[in-house]
């Protein structure tokens, strides 16, 4: 009789535990949520993080705050989130740099083994620019000149999207360009304007003032479609390089083993927010396009980008110390 009572009480406890789990998910979030950004405040990626955090806060009636943890090419932030409890109260503003490119260049643990996708929210293209006195106007002009003389291209650093965009162009066009890495985009743009380097892949919004002032020459954009901010500038596809696409993306990831119900709730809320006029307007100001890919499609995007960049890095024997 005693054994039967113990077994009965044990089964009741387990049943009560499982019955309580949906209620816990329904209550999420019941306290403030931290969104860790690997980027300094003010830039496009950090703005995406803040727009998403504000929308989650408004729609889920709980505080979502952005915490900036810069350094080590984003690995400090991703490690911090991956090491946090898998309860939905610590999220990562993830991007292709720290999630894909840096691990491929440096080796080590694949962050996606410790983080799970929630929603890929936004992406933005780059524009290839030439110094104003280089005498080129089209991508074919650039390629023809590169076959006659050595040209330099700047980037925001080894392994940055700006750098790999140039390496991809070299590979696809069969030309040689001398890479000049900088500590950041601002310094690289300054040297392009100052005619100390020949070419640069830059973010579209920060490049617009220099393009408008005719201090640099826009050559082509790296997206599938022309940018609404540079409607007269062709894409690489239109310039004879079908399939050439380089896009910075930003989305939300969470620690592995975060409950699927929590992931689902976050994804649904972010997805609804990305369709709102307010978010579309704010993204447009920073040159970001809404993507809105849920966990499965986000995972596929990571896998396809990893293959593309992995093949390029292996082919060009790129390394980062």
Helices and strands (H, E) in the chain, number of each type: 12, 10
CA Rg value for the chain? 23
Q: Compute the half-sphere exposure of residue 152: CA atoms within 13 Å on the CB side of its CA.
A: 13
Which CATH code for domain 125-221?
3.40.190.10
- Residue whose pair of structure tokens reads 């002032």 in the numeric block: 213
Question: What pLDDT shows up at residue 62?
Answer: 97
Residues near 22 by beta carbon (within 8 Å), at least 6 away in sequence: 261
Domain chopping of the chain, boundaries: 9-124+248-316, 125-221
Domains 9-124+248-316 and 125-221 fall in the same CATH topology: yes
Please give the pLDDT value at position 81: 97
Q: What backbone torsions phi and psi does residue 203 show, to the nearest 5 degrees?
A: -65, 145
- pLDDT value for 312: 93
The percent of residues above 90 in pLDDT, for the chain, comes to 78
Q: Residue 16: its pLDDT value, please?
A: 43
Tell me, what's the pLDDT at 4?
44
What pLDDT is recorded for position 319?
67
Dihedral of CA atoms 103, 105, 106, 109 in degrees, nearest 10, equals: 20
What pLDDT is stored for residue 157 in this prediction? 86
The tens digit of pLDDT for each residue in 92-118 reads 999 999 999 999 988 878 899 999 999
The pLDDT tens digits for 147-166 are 999 999 999 888 889 999 99
Q: What is the CB neighbour count within 10 angstroms for residue 97?
A: 25
Low pLDDT (below 50) residues in the chain? 1-23
pLDDT of residue 23: 38
pLDDT of residue 5: 41
Residue ranges with strand state E in the chain: 33-37, 64-68, 90-95, 115-131, 151-155, 177-181, 199-203, 216-221, 247-255, 289-293
Contacts of 250 (CB under 8 A, 6+ apart): 44, 45, 48, 49, 93, 94, 95, 120, 121, 122, 123, 288
265 cis-preceded (ω within 30 degrees of 0): no
Angle at alpha carbon of residue 217, lines to 214 and 221, rounded to 5°:
125
The CATH number of domain 9-124+248-316, selected from 1.10.150.120, 3.40.190.150, 3.40.50.2300, 3.40.50.720:
3.40.190.150
């Amino acid at each position: 009789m005693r054994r039967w009572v113990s077994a009965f009480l044990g089964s009741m406890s387990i049943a009560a535990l499982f019955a309580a789990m949906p209620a816990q998910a329904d209550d999420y979030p019941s306290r403030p949520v931290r969104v860790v950004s690997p980027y300094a405040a003010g830039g496009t990626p950090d703005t995406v993080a803040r727009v998403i955090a504000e929308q989650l806060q408004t729609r889920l009636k709980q505080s979502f705050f952005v915490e900036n943890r810069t350094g080590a090419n984003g690995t400090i932030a991703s490690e911090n989130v991956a090491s946090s409890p898998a309860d939905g109260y610590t999220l990562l503003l993830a991007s292709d740099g720290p999630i894909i490119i840096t691990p491929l260049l440096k080796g080590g643990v694949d962050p996606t083994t410790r983080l799970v996708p929630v929603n890929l929210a936004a992406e933005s293209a780059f524009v290839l620019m030439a110094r104003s006195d280089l005498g080129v106007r089209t991508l074919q002009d650039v390629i023809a000149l590169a076959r006659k003389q050595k040209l330099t291209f700047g980037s925001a650093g080894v392994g940055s999207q700006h750098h790999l965009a140039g390496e991809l162009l070299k590979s696809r066009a069969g030309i040689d360009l001398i890479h000049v890495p900088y500590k950041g985009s601002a310094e690289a743009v300054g040297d392009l304007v100052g005619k100390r380097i020949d070419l640069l892949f830059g973010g579209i919004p920060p490049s617009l003032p220099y393009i408008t002032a005719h201090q640099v020459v826009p050559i082509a954009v790296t997206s599938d479609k022309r940018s609404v901010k540079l409607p007269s500038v062709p894409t690489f596809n239109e310039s004879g390089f079908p399939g050439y696409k380089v896009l910075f993306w930003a989305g939300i990831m969470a620690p592995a083993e975060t409950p699927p119900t929590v992931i689902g709730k976050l994804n649904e809320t972010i997805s609804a927010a990305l369709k709102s006029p307010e978010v579309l307007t704010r993204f447009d100001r920073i040159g970001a396009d809404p993507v809105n890919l849920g966990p499965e499609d986000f995972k596929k995007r990571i896998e396809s980008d990893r293959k593309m960049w992995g093949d390029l890095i292996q082919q060009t024997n790129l390394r980062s110390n």
